[in-house]
Amino acid sequence: MLCLLSVLAGCKHAASPSEQPASQPSPSVVSSPPVQTQATATPSQARPSGPIHFTDVTAEAGIHFKHNSGAFGQKYLPETMGSGVCVLDYDNDGWQDILFVNGMDWPGHHTHTSYPALYHNEHNGTFKDVTKEAGLAVEMYGMGCAVGDYDNDGREDIYITALDGNHLFHNEGNGKFVDITRKAGVRDGGFSTGAIWFDYDNDGKLDLFVSHYIEWSIAADQTCALDGKHKSYCTPELYKGQSATFYHNLGNGRFEDVTKKAGLYDPTSKSLGVALVDFDNDGWLDLLVANDTQPNKLYRNNHNGTFTESAVTAGVAYSDAGKARAGMGVDSADYDLSGRPGLLIGNFANESLALYHNDGDGLFSDHSVASGIASPSATSLTFGTFFFDYDLDGLPDIFAANGHVADDISVIQPTIHYAEPQLLFRNRGNGKYEDMSHKAGQTLEQPIVARGAAYADFDNDGDLDVVVSTNNGPAKLLRNDNGNQNDVLRVKAVGTRSNRDGIGAKVTVTTSSGQRLWQMVHDGSSYLSQSELPLTFGLGRPGSNPAISLQIVWPSGKKESFSGVKANQAITIEEGKGIVAAQTISFGGATGQTAR
């Protein structure tokens, strides 16, 4: 299997010259000595012990965001779908900040204003609401978000999807954002859902894919009743689908709608989640789009500005029974260290989470049952979901945020509940998962109506924490406690020829035992949400990796290798310049941090 990873790392360069953009130089391998850790004081290296658990620290962190669905009894469909949460470091201080998307009151029923919320990480376990000074106090019926530095100026920009008009906020660099939607030409419209920034043509500029759900308006709202008497939220089957929109970044602050030109126009889709995957390892990014009650889509990048829909042949369009499931959130990772990225899709109640193993040759097989995640997730309606290595053993684990769409579902299905516990699966290796949902902190067992979910190391102590948004309710910040008993390497990629966020860059870590772990820098994923961009590599037992080899393959095709990298650092790799920053990770958490 290790040879496959070599193929992965080298595959980009196996492509014929005609498949590379004309402006690209031939790739080269650069070896740089690792820079010494820059920390000026000795951080706390006392390692925690005890069982790993998640602790609800929302209140002590100062996060008071509450989602407003605008619901007032009419049961308009969009009310039950929002909203997402995105992690970003908007001020480049090395601490991950949080953006919550919000809805608003419906026209004619306006009782209070509600905005998205931007929370600045204060470096001490607390966050500060900076929405107003950031210029983000804009009322909209928001759904999801996508963060990307579309103009490569070194500052993360924010795209928020909403009903009837999305917003692009340019990061001005002084903690302020400016709404440049119309100038950029990315307002879109309709029922936008999951969005994602990625460079489909490898020209170094991030392009923008925006999923759409259904044709819906207040005037066209259908009436459904689960109990035959009272109005309930309808299923999307009663509405026509709506095509995604795809924008090519022209590089002058403007975007061109290339949906049809790229072969992505599809009004039959009812899309929610979208994830990046290079499933055929050719160095060109493909897209997985989860559809609700319609077949999922897997768009294979043809290297010429077009995509070919491949989900049916790949085996991910339908369930094994041939049924289109209700796909919500999505993610991709090499969860079984096969060298190839697998897929994860959150589905409706009684449909289970879907885990697809990448068999190679463009084919996937459903390993939900064999992996052990199908049964524990059977009754869950999963929205946000992702792979993350919460115990730092090098194996991607799974988190799922659940909650039903119908607040009255228990009336007709007593075993199904509106508010549901969250799910945590620990990767045991060999493609098997253990259900840890009842062993990793009471907060995971508390039923909530979850929607968005994302991870980040908010306290810079080396382990991945979680943020969850709920429908018409409060957000939750879940701190990972004791997850950092193993060694870790965190990697931030900064592109120069490639897009500055390094989205699409593949980083392979070779441990002292010869094990190869790889991840791709990616945004989007989960449900209407986005996790942090830096990659976290779990390295297992403390001291087991005195010197790590690391290789990065950039979207530009450039390949760089490093050896002798020390564990327990957060490093920044700049394309063509090597490791430009390194900081020792303090296992004591925020209080042990030193200034950069």
**Sequence-ordered list of residues with C-beta below 8 angstroms from that of 559, at least 6 positions apart, any chain:** 9, 10, 12, 13, 27, 28, 29, 30, 551, 552, 553
In whole angstroms, the minimum distance from the beta carbon of 36 to Ca ion comes to 24
User: Which residues, 119 to 148, sit near Ca ion by CB under 5 A?
Assistant: 121
In whole angstroms, the minimum distance from the beta carbon of 470 to Ca ion comes to 22
- The angle at the Cα of 121, spanning 453 to 486, to the nearest 5 degrees, equals 65
**Sequence-ordered list of residues with C-beta below 8 angstroms from that of 575, at least 6 positions apart, any chain:** 493, 494, 495, 496, 497, 498, 502, 554, 556, 558, 560
In the bound state with Ca ion, the residue whose beta carbon lies nearer, of 285 and 337, is 285
Tokens (6 digits) for 594? 């030193």
Binding mask 160-199 for Ca ion (x = CB under 5 A): ---------------------------------------x
Q: Count CB-CB contacts under 10 A for residue 226.
A: 18
User: Which residues, 87 to 116, sit near Ca ion by CB under 5 A?
Assistant: 89, 91, 93, 95, 97
In whole angstroms, the minimum distance from the beta carbon of 394 to Ca ion comes to 17
Tell me if 523 contacts Ca ion by CB under 5 A: no
β-bridge mates for residue 200, sequence order: none
In whole angstroms, the minimum distance from the beta carbon of 479 to Ca ion comes to 7
Q: Choose one: 16-24, 117-125, 312-320, 515-523; the region binding Ca ion (CB under 5 A).
A: 117-125
Q: Sign of the CA dihedral 438, 441, 444, 448?
A: positive
Q: Choose one: 127-135, 232-240, 405-413, 454-462; the region binding Ca ion (CB under 5 A).
A: 454-462
CA dist 42 and 58 (Å) reads 29
Tell me if 461 contacts Ca ion by CB under 5 A: yes
In whole angstroms, the minimum distance from the beta carbon of 254 to Ca ion comes to 13
**Sequence-ordered list of residues with C-beta below 8 angstroms from that of 589, at least 6 positions apart, any chain:** 125, 459, 460, 461
Tell me if 463 contacts Ca ion by CB under 5 A: yes
Element (DSSP H or E) covering residue 56: strand 53-56
Element (DSSP H or E) covering residue 412: helix 409-412
Following CA atoms 417, 418, 422, 427 in sequence, which dihedral angle do they give, to the nearest 10 degrees? 60
User: Which residues, 502 to 521, sit near Ca ion by CB under 5 A?
Assistant: none
CB-side neighbour CA atoms (13 Å) of 474: 11
Tell me if 481 contacts Ca ion by CB under 5 A: no
Tell me if 389 contacts Ca ion by CB under 5 A: no
Choice from 157, 366, 501, 575 touching Ca ion (CB under 5 A) = 157
CA dist 62 and 84 (Å) reads 19
Tell me if 459 contacts Ca ion by CB under 5 A: yes
In the bound state with Ca ion, the residue whose beta carbon lies nearer, of 201 and 523, is 201
Tell me if 203 contacts Ca ion by CB under 5 A: yes
User: Which residues, 322 to 381, sit near Ca ion by CB under 5 A?
Assistant: none
**Sequence-ordered list of residues with C-beta below 8 angstroms from that of 469, at least 6 positions apart, any chain:** 65, 67, 83, 84, 85, 100, 101, 384, 450, 451, 452, 453, 475, 476, 529
In whole angstroms, the minimum distance from the beta carbon of 168 to Ca ion comes to 10
In whole angstroms, the minimum distance from the beta carbon of 146 to Ca ion comes to 13
Binding mask 206-245 for Ca ion (x = CB under 5 A): -x--------------------------------------
Tell me if 560 contacts Ca ion by CB under 5 A: no
Can you give the binding site for Ca ion, defined by CB under 5 A?
Answer: 89, 91, 93, 95, 97, 121, 149, 151, 153, 155, 157, 199, 201, 203, 205, 207, 457, 459, 461, 463, 465
